[in-house]
Amino acid sequence: VNAATGRAVMSWFPSSERGLALGIRQTAVPVGGGLGAVVLPALESAFGLGAAFGSLAIACGAAAVAAFTWLREAPGFPDEAISGHVASPLRDRRLWQLAAGSTLLVSVQIALTGFVVLYLHEERGLSPGKAGLVLGAINVCGAVLRIGLGRLSDRIGSRLRPLRRLSLGL
């Protein structure tokens, strides 16, 4: 899904709008996580674990139908050539640095979102519903930041500068 939707954004939007478009696209993860954190504990509590998993299956099916229905190839932007000669991306030091930095950022995100509900419930005594609301709030903040940083990157003409500043807390 990530590769296909990223490719769609790259072909449907000019480089001057891709930061915002990718930011909106990337909100799927925190929005889905936030909705799941709020809705799934309530479904499980009211109707059982099968209903919670069944709702996830229905949502995945609906997303597949929506993608099949509306996702189309775009004409692209042929006037935007790749800058420089790229013999092999695996030999590009900058790509390895970007991958390493991204890995560190994503690792923290996964650890936080993967365990915050368990920690708050088991160690701090919050109900699963309230712990889910905390995770939902974290995901809303993540969605807002992704869109805001995407728009900022379009304005300043750099994808990395806003990410670096956020990562360093500047």
pLDDT tens over the chain, length 170 residues: 566 677 777 778 888 888 888 888 888 877 887 788 888 888 998 999 999 999 999 998 998 898 889 877 776 665 555 555 556 778 888 888 888 988 998 898 889 888 999 999 999 999 988 898 898 888 888 889 889 999 999 999 888 888 888 888 86
Beta strands in 118-167 (DSSP E): none
DSSP 8-state symbol, 124: T
Asked if 117 and 131 count as a contact pair (C-beta separation under 8 A), the reply is: yes
Distance CA 91, CA 138 (A): 37
- Using CA atoms, how far residue 84 sits from 4, 72, 81, 150, in Å, is 25, 29, 9, 24
The pTM assigned to this predicted structure is 0.68
